[in-house]
């Protein structure tokens, strides 16, 4: 069923008592198509595609070219959801000029409606410059997977008062710099609640408890199309990976056993054309091949 396009005006209204925002990642045409049809508000072409589409150990190796390639597939598939593209590691940390240039590419070449970048107080100049160029920016505070080497892995942020204070200051700083919404990742729920209370824009949690204005999860983890352990905050709503394995196992068995393809999955031709073909292609000095089976009621071969 067709639904109204989600615009930034809708996203920015959804704070406080408004219905929560539902965001999910999408990386390719069909993940975006199914999520868009399911009614998701926002799609995030996350740099987590490094792990879930490309088999990298994390997000750090992901390039602008890879992000644009996947953003284009998603934006072609999703007429209704508001599409946000992640600026990958190295595309905005080097200079404000690079940050603006690469944000422009995600919008112009990738078709995204907004960009997301990780970091707090240290990113306010880049955020303000991108917003100044007319591109909405989603912030991302708490755990920033692109900084995994700084944290020594993917670790919950803000379990101590000091770090919780930093997460809060980061949230306030990126909101003041002009972000229209902020992802809060892997922080204790009370910390996310406090950030949500203190910023005027929508917060979208991932591993940040129920107190945010919205939630985001990774598509493959939601549908169960991944191997390996998922973080504690992930709720898996289907077991698509197991269904895929079962379907492909059956397919292999039917191919090997000659059961597939059967008549239903084969192209047929008119009986008369088949007879003419066999006469014309008979080997010299030999009669046409096997006698033909009785014609099908429609005149098509059996």
Is 218 a binder of ligand KIV (CB under 6 A)? yes
Stretch that binds ligand KIV, among 41-49, 89-97, 149-157, 223-231 (CB under 6 A): 41-49
Taking a C-beta distance cutoff of 8 angstroms, is the pair 116, 74 a contact? no
Print burial letters for 189-221: b (CB count within 10 Å at least 16), e (below 16): eebbbbbbeebebbbbbbbbbebbbbbbbbbbb
Residue 46 touching ligand KIV (CB under 6 A): yes
Q: Which is nearer to ligand KIV, 105 or 271 (CB)?
A: 105
Q: How many Cβ atoms from other residues are within 10 Å of residue 174's Cβ?
A: 28
Binders of ligand KIV among 104-163, rule CB under 6 A?
140
Among the listed ranges 32-40, 46-54, 102-110, 166-174, the one in contact with ligand KIV (CB under 6 A) is 46-54
Residue of closest CB approach to ligand KIV: 46
**86 touches ligand KIV by CB under 6 A:** yes
Report how far residue 58's alpha carbon sits from residue 145's, in angstroms, rounded to the nearest whole number: 8
Strands 202-206 and 82-86 turn out to be: unpaired
Task: Write down the least CB distance from residue 68 to ligand KIV, Å.
Answer: 15
- Minimum CB separation of residue 226 from ligand KIV in Å reads 13
Does the protein bind ligand KIV through residue 71 (CB under 6 A)? no
Cβ neighbours for 169, distance < 8 A, ≥ 6 positions apart: 120, 121
The yes or no reply on residue 206 touching ligand KIV (CB under 6 A) is yes
Q: For residue 282, which phi and psi values (nearest 5 degrees)? A: -60, 145
By CB under 6 A, tell whether 183 contacts ligand KIV.
yes
């Amino acid at each position: 069923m067709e639904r109204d396009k989600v615009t930034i005006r809708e996203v920015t209204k959804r704070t406080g008592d408004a219905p929560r925002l539902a965001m999910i990642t999408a990386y390719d045409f069909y993940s975006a198509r199914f999520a868009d049809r399911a009614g998701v508000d926002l799609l995030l072409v996350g740099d987590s595609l490094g792990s879930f589409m490309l088999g990298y150990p994390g997000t750090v190796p992901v390039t602008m070219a890879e992000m644009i390639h996947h953003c284009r597939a998603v934006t072609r598939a999703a007429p209704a959801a508001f599409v946000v593209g992640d600026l990958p590691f190295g595309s905005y940390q080097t200079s404000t000029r690079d940050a603006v240039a690469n944000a422009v590419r995600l919008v112009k070449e990738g078709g995204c409606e907004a960009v997301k970048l990780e970091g707090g107080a240290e990113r306010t100049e880049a955020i303000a410059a991108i917003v100044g160029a007319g591109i909405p920016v989603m912030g991302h505070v708490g755990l920033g997977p692109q900084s995994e080497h700084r944290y020594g892995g993917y670790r919950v942020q803000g379990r101590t008062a000091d770090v919780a204070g930093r997460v809060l200051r980061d949230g306030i700083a990126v909101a003041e710099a002009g972000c229209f919404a902020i992802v809060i990742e892997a922080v204790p729920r009370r910390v996310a609640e406090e950030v949500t209370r203190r910023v005027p824009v929508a917060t979208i949690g991932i591993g940040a408890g129920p107190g945010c204005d919205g939630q985001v999860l990774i598509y493959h983890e939601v549908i169960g199309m991944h191997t390996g352990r998922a973080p504690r905050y992930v709720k898996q709503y289907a077991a698509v990976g197991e269904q895929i394995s079962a379907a492909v196992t059956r397919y292999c068995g039917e191919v090997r056993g000659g059961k597939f393809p059967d008549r239903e999955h084969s192209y047929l031709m008119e009986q008369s054309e088949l007879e003419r073909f066999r006469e014309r292609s008979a080997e010299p000095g030999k009669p046409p091949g096997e006698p033909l089976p009785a014609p099908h009621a429609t005149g098509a071969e059996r």
